[in-house]
């Protein structure tokens, strides 16, 4: 009996200090090597800034509309723009994104129109956009199931020799779920071209990280599965973009999966039904607001002359235009067919499904007759 002690390029525990390329004050971080990652170019940084400013205006607008009762719920990403946009922007067009319910601004980054994003939050459709057209899976509400989907898609791409990688978003709460273990393990064993972007916003709804994980940090978990892990300053979009881009390139080259932990903070409540004052201090929120990802990059761009007043006016106008289109989209009345719920469930409709469809159709007809709806 032999034991396979694998040697060579075994991953080691990551550095506890997050990878940072632009610090809180908007200065280039002191490490001249940039941690071994490529510092983004001027055009890339300006594009990331524009995306974050526009996405924040969108996020604030949707939160306001939700508080007005125009949508059932909306999980805000305020404060997490660097993680979501930095990681998503690192994808190629052919890659696939597997987002969660909080990653709406990542969908914007993939070019999905807000008109097609809201049907799921309004309860009209499970997904309002074409996943294949945008190479973006529906936003997952069950915790961590999307990680398995990402690994499955990546493995399929590998077996077909497609030059495709997948990116799965996870939250710190999802890191305690069984599906995450299965996804990490399968991805490592099969060397799937997947990057797991774990957004550690420090609360799983109302549970602080210290009450759900005893790990030194979440990036440490990668070593146990035999894949590299990195801890990144999740409010530094330059660092997130550089690390995820590097990990995606490694995945496409056959290097296997990577876990990236982005250390950040959720500024808003979990959703509009949540009261965060019951489980966190205002002082913590105030501290993290001083580490704002947009202000940090803006300081850098202004200090280096890469951003001018004309740029800021143009970006602000684009953000207001999107906010206006968002208000129109959410306020628009929709006509729904209840029988649509049976569509697209099976390729060939099953007898029991047909019986349920016929039953509902008859109930609707009786209701219309009683109310004179179609008279």
Residue 81 · residue 235 · CB < 8 Å: no
Q: Which of 27, 67, 92, 279 is catalytic?
A: 279
**C-alpha distances in angstroms, 357 versus 129, 130, 341, 362?**
24, 25, 9, 9
279 is catalytic: yes
Tokens 């002690």 appear where? Answer: 5
Facing residues of 194 across strands?
A: 166
Both tokens assigned to 159: 């077996």
Q: Which of 102, 110, 231, 270 is catalytic?
A: 270
Contacts of 242 (CB under 8 A, 6+ apart): 19, 21, 34, 37, 38, 39, 40
Q: Which of 231, 266, 291, 296 is catalytic?
A: 266
Could you tell me how far CA 273 lies from the centroid of its own chain? Answer: 21
270 is catalytic: yes
Residue 49 · residue 43 · CB < 8 Å: no
Q: What are phi and psi of 52, to 5 degrees?
A: -70, -45
Q: Give the integer Cα–Cα distance in Å for 128 and 125.
A: 6
- Catalytic center residues: 266, 270, 279
């Amino acid at each position: 009996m032999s034991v396979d002690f694998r040697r060579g390029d075994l991953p080691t525990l990551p550095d506890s200090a997050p990878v940072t390329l632009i610090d809180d004050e908007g200065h280039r971080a002191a490490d001249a090597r940039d941690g071994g990652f490529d510092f983004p170019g001027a055009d890339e940084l300006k594009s990331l800034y524009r995306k974050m400013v526009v996405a924040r205006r969108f996020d604030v607008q949707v939160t306001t509309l939700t508080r007005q009762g125009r949508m059932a719920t909306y999980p805000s990403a305020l404060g997490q723009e660097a993680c979501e946009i930095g990681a998503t922007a690192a994808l190629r067009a052919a890659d696939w994104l597997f987002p969660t319910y909080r990653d709406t601004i990542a969908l914007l980054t993939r070019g999905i129109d807000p008109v097609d994003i809201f049907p799921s939050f309004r309860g009209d459709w499970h997904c309002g956009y074409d996943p294949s057209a945008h190479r973006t899976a529906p936003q997952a509400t069950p915790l961590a199931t999307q990680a398995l989907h990402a690994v499955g898609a990546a493995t399929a791409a590998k077996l077909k020799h497609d030059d495709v990688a997948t990116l799965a978003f996870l939250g710190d709460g999802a890191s305690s779920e069984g599906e995450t273990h299965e996804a990490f393990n399968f991805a490592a064993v099969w060397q799937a071209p997947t990057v797991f972007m774990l957004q550690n916003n420090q609360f799983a709804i109302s549970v602080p990280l210290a009450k759900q994980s005893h790990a030194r940090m979440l990036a440490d978990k990668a070593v146990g599965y035999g894949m590299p892990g990195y801890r990144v300053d999740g409010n530094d979009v330059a660092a997130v973009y550089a690390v995820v881009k590097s990990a995606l390139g490694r995945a496409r080259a056959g290097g296997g999966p990577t876990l990236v932990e982005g250390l950040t903070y959720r500024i808003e409540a979990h959703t509009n039904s949540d009261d965060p004052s019951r489980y966190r201090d205002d002082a913590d929120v105030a501290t993290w607001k001083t580490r704002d990802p947009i202000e940090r990059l803006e300081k850098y761009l202004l200090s280096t002359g890469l951003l001018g007043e004309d740029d800021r006016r143009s970006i602000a106008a684009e953000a207001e235009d999107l906010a206006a289109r968002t208000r129109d989209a959410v306020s628009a009345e929709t006509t729904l067919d209840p029988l649509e719920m049976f569509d697209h469930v099976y390729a060939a409709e099953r007898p029991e499904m047909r019986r349920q469809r016929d039953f509902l159709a008859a109930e609707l007809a009786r209701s219309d007759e009683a109310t004179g709806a179609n008279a």
